[in-house]
Amino acid sequence: MALYPIKFTPIYKYRIWGGNKLKTVLNKNYTQENIGESWEISDVKGDETIVSDGSLAGKTLRDLIKDFKEDAVGAHVYKTFGEEFPLLIKFIDAKTPLSIQVHPNNEIAKQRHNSFGKNEMWYVMEAEKDAELIVGFNQKVDKEAYVKALESGEVLKILNNDTVSKGDTYYIPTGRIHAIGAGVMLAEIQQTSDITYRIYDYDRVDSSTGKTRELHTDLAVDVIDYSFDTNYKTNYAITENKTNPLVHSPYFKTNIINIKGEIKKDFSDLDSFVIYICVEGSLELIYNDKVYKVAKGETIFLPAALDDVVLKSHNADVLEVYY
């Protein structure tokens, strides 16, 4: 059975802070309220995404790797991760702010949770007026000063708030305190991990449980990176019809492409799967003379065995992700 460009059926996640933009803006198909996340490509246990169309429909991402091995993900990726997929791709809609949180690194996550760590990045797709993200500290802080601020209820005063707009990009390495603010919709690329330590949650009660959500203040203290930076945002430039680097980390590489016309892509030298995330406009991806349409808010997975594709659009912004 031959491989081809693959779409997965998203998995929708209720969140206390979720809104309805994933439905109204990105045309996601669900009926529940407060859907905060659409998991586009996932190998998280119990939340494996399923192929939605073509001859492989019904198979999970894990099934693809089992069946096709390095043809699915690339020889280096298969050698490193085996049948586990290293990335989780999401869209996130925050109607109200997320909790202040931090993620552990690979070593701590493995030791405490038998999981990968959670290095991640955000690409802002929409931001309401004055919408903010919290990323890092706004001053030099050590562990003692942080604990004091947390215990006195003043932790928000030492955190860095950035007002954001469409296209703003942030790399969030493990250990960096962060939170998505109200009115922000974004694409998130991260390691395959669902380990989050909540530090502060505005004393909110979750209507689905009638309780406040669990905090993980003790677990977080030794995970937090207390360093201070004057700028946490990723600086980048876009030249149309070129592959522009966005975030290149040891855990994933993300480029941005503004497509106006037609671009030929040759992956014969790239030993990895490739994921395209359409964050603006729409495009046609052509492989073996077959056209795959990708709308804003859709994600498509190219197995590593696929070398040559054509991207075509009047005007689209696309994130290109690989390992």
199 and 297 both lie in a single domain = no
- pLDDT digits over 156-198, tens only? 999 999 999 999 999 999 999 999 999 999 999 999 998 999 9
140 and 213 both lie in a single domain = yes
Q: How many domains does the chain have?
A: 2
User: Is residue 231 included in any domain, yes or no?
Assistant: no
173 and 290 both lie in a single domain = no
- pLDDT digits over 212-229, tens only? 989 999 999 999 999 999
- Split at pLDDT 50, 70, 90, the class of 206 is confident
Please indicate if the annotation marks 120 as binding a ligand.
yes
Domain boundary among 221, 252, 270: 221
200 within 8 A of 155, measured Cβ to Cβ: yes
- Split at pLDDT 50, 70, 90, the class of 283 is very high
State the residue range of the domain holding 181. Answer: 8-221
pLDDT at 1: 76
Domain with residue 314: its CATH number is 2.60.120.10
161 and 272 both lie in a single domain = no
User: Is residue 170 included in any domain, yes or no?
Assistant: yes
180 and 258 both lie in a single domain = no
User: Is residue 136 included in any domain, yes or no?
Assistant: yes
Name the more confident of 117 and 35: 35
User: Is residue 226 included in any domain, yes or no?
Assistant: no
192 and 259 both lie in a single domain = no
256 and 149 both lie in a single domain = no
DSSP state of 60: B
Domain boundary among 187, 221, 255: 221
Domain boundary among 162, 186, 221: 221
- Split at pLDDT 50, 70, 90, the class of 86 is very high
Distances (CA, A) of 171 to 100, 124, 235, 318: 16, 12, 11, 17
DSSP three-state, residue 54: coil
204 and 270 both lie in a single domain = no
314 and 176 both lie in a single domain = no
Please indicate if the annotation marks 76 as binding a ligand.
no
250 and 208 both lie in a single domain = no
- pLDDT digits over 36-46, tens only? 999 999 999 99
- Distance from C-alpha of 258 to C-alpha of 103, rounded to nearest angstrom: 31
177 within 8 A of 150, measured Cβ to Cβ: no
User: Is residue 213 included in any domain, yes or no?
Assistant: yes
pLDDT at 208 over 90: no
User: Is residue 234 included in any domain, yes or no?
Assistant: no
156 and 297 both lie in a single domain = no
Reported as type and span, the H/E element at residue 148 is: helix 143-151
User: Is residue 233 included in any domain, yes or no?
Assistant: no
Could you tell me which of 170, 8, 188, 159 has the C-alpha nearest to residue 94?
A: 188
pLDDT at 18 over 80: yes
H helices, E strands: number in the chain: 7, 24
Active-site residue among 62, 176, 198, 213? 198
Could you tell me which of 34, 141, 172 has the C-alpha nearest to residue 95?
A: 34
**Tokens standing for residue 52:** 């939605």
- Distance from C-alpha of 68 to C-alpha of 83, rounded to nearest angstrom: 10
302 and 165 both lie in a single domain = no
Please indicate if the annotation marks 248 as binding a ligand.
no
CA dihedral over 301, 267, 120, 292, signed as positive or negative: negative
User: Is residue 154 included in any domain, yes or no?
Assistant: yes
Our answer to whether residue 213 is catalytic in this structure is no
pLDDT at 94: 98
pTM for the model: 0.96
pLDDT, mean of residues 135-139: 97
